[in-house]
Amino acid sequence: MKKQWMLLEPIRVGSKLFKNRIVLPAMETRLSHPDGSPTREMNAYYAERARGGVAAVIVENTFVDDKASRSSLVSSGIYSDHMIAGKYGLAQSIKENGALAILQISHGGRQANAAATGLPAVAPSAVPCKVVQRMPKPLAIEEIVEIEDAFAEAARRAKQAGFDGVEIHGAHGYLICSFLSPYTNKRTDEYGGSPENRARFPRNIIRKVREEVGPDFLVGYRLSGSEFVDGGLTIEDTCAFAKTIQAEVDYIHVSAGIYETMATWMMTPLYMPQAPIVHLAAEMKKAVRIPVITVGSLNAELGEKALEDGSADIVALGRGLIADPEIPRKLAEDRAEDIRPCMRGNEGCISLFFLGCPIRCEVNPQCGRELEYNIRKTDNPQKVVVIGGGVAGLEAARVASESGHWVTLLEQSDRLGGHFIEGTAPDFKVEARSLLRWLIGQVEKSKISVEFHKKATPELVASYHPDVIIVAEGSAYGKIPVKGIEEAILPDEALMHPERVGKSVVVIGGGLVGSETALWLAEQGKSVTIVEMLNDIVPEDEPLSQTAIKFRLHETGVQIATGSRVTEINDGTVKGVDDAGAPFEFKAETIIAATGLKAKKTDDYSEIAPKVFQIGDSVKARKIYNCFHEAWHAVLSI
């Protein structure tokens, strides 16, 4: 029986009817031109998500003036009438594909990137952001009024460009949020002090915007329900504020956090719980009479639960719609099992934000490349042999089959998934586990011929007479060459069978595998120590994930010895020296050698087929991002 999703029910928001209750929230794509105008890639990115069936697309953080409002290197802009033409094309791309178009308007304030404008950061008070580490200049009253007017002008331009509404960005520690918050607003004039005075700036902006655009144009307001910092905004504060603006805005979009709590509340990686801030939307919904949007590490099931529980009226799926733009369409077609899960690894979507590079997705290589990366049925099918059933091999086989090629997948073992099997064993990897199930499920539903217990050799591969060979044989765990290393077990045994691991554990290696293994065992109540030769752990991880796993390791009591080189293992004792040359010893019931993965040595297949590609860990042990992207590149190169 077809599931009836509340997510697919329509809802009226202000003067507009949302065809369902799923929206794309504002997330920076870095697909703008340097001046802040849209590129063709940006239009295609948003068009794809509109085409996938969302009710509304909220276009990313868009700066309102040509002074200090730009928050990042590649922000979207609406600071001049010269921007209207480009934004008109963007609005058309969204609306012509079935979604309402809403433009988020913003000012970076004290969190603005120093390289974004070359100007001093501005704020209500001289309170620097601990992340950006810039001392902002307190705004004079005439400057504040000028910025209020800039928001109104930006909204007027958005309306003129054909957008259906604007969302005022009052969240995440940017300028508007910093005025409302007692954590950052230390003023003693009419814009500071009491809650009413601190609310003057956002309320003036809302009033001026509404006066400029009229009653039938959508005006939403995004806020951080809580900043989760001592002395910052709480949900009680923001609910009280929302009550005062609900007559002038059409919805409240409840997010959370500021840059200083980004990893734990604002853009939570996979090491943090799913749906961590729905409770904030639930409190907001009790306080206001207008629609409330919830957001934050949600998928379709968790969004549905939020609606069923009465915690929100609308659900914003952010990274989920980056990973799979067709979530609403697949729900409507009763194909929930075909939704490609986001695993919250933050590679591409957020890691590239910090580098000022265009948006990508670790599990959806089309993201940001919609104009060039498309699966189209070929009129020249090739015989493709894929060697290896890990993540890279599975994705290559899937994409090749969808492209119309005849695909045979050879797997040496009796299971698909490679190292992702043990890599997704921990409870905190539930979304990654869903991704593996999705990959295997898509292969099983396809016409791919999967052959298990097939050790690839040139002779065997040649027997299939392939036109194309994709080598994805993966990697193998290695052990460092120190005396007594044979006492240590490998991470796969510990991850798959934590019950076999003793109560005290030493993990040699603080890379991603070692740190995740340590966290998983610590969650089982074991006493764990990580010994790492470098001066930091998980250096290869993106910044938010690195912060989050360190936070979790600390929470679970894992001891971390960095700058420590192991020299010997003897009868359960790990011995070595630290950077200063001082000796150390750690006694443990179980020792785990998590000292890295190395690509397996592969045979030469160049004489067998005219096209041979090597992808994923078989090139070098790396990340899921590389597995997916190299799989697509190989197939599209056939």
175: buried, middle or exposed (CB in 10 Å: 19+, 13-18, 0-12)? buried
Q: What is the 3-state secondary structure (H, E, C) of 585-624?
A: EEECCEEEECCCEEECCCCCCCCCCCEEEECHHHCCCCCH
Which DSSP string corresponds to 14-49?
TTEEESSSEEEPP-----B-TTSPBPHHHHHHHHHH
SS (H, E, C) 136-154: CEECCHHHHHHHHHHHHHH
Tokens of 243: 């009550």
3-state secondary structure at position 306 = helix
CA atoms lying within 13 Å on the CB side of residue 116 = 33
What is the H or E stretch that residue 584 is in? strand 583-587
- For CA atoms 617, 619, 621, 627, the dihedral sign is negative
CA–CA gap between residue 638 and residue 635 (Å, rounded): 5
Smallest CA-to-CA distance from 163 within 93, 251, 221 is with 93
What are the backbone dihedrals phi and psi of residue 165, each rounded to the nearest 5 degrees, phi first?
A: 180, 175
CA angle 501, 519, 131 (to 5 degrees): 165
Here the tokens at position 366 are 């089309």
SS3 296: coil
Amino acid at position 545, single letter? S
Residues in contact with 240: Cβ distance below 8 Å, sequence separation at least 6, in sequence order: 195, 287
Residues ≥6 apart with Cβ < 8 Å to 499: none
Closest residue by Cα to residue 602 from 414, 391, 461, 430? 461
State how beta strands 504-508 and 527-531 pair. Answer: parallel
Name the packing angle between helices 40-51 and 84-95 (round to 10°).
30
SS3 63: strand
**DSSP character string of 331-357:** HHTT-GGGPPPP----TTTTHHHHHT-
Closest to 357 in 3D by CA, of 370, 345, 369? 369
Beta strand ranges found along 295-447 (DSSP E): 314-316, 383-387, 406-410
Alpha carbon 286 to its chain centroid, in Å, reads 29
Contact 128, 61 (CB under 8 A): no
Catalytic machinery residues: 174
Q: What's the token pair of residue 91?
A: 């609005």
> Which contiguous run of DSSP H or E holds residue 570?
strand 564-570
Q: DSSP state, 189?
A: S
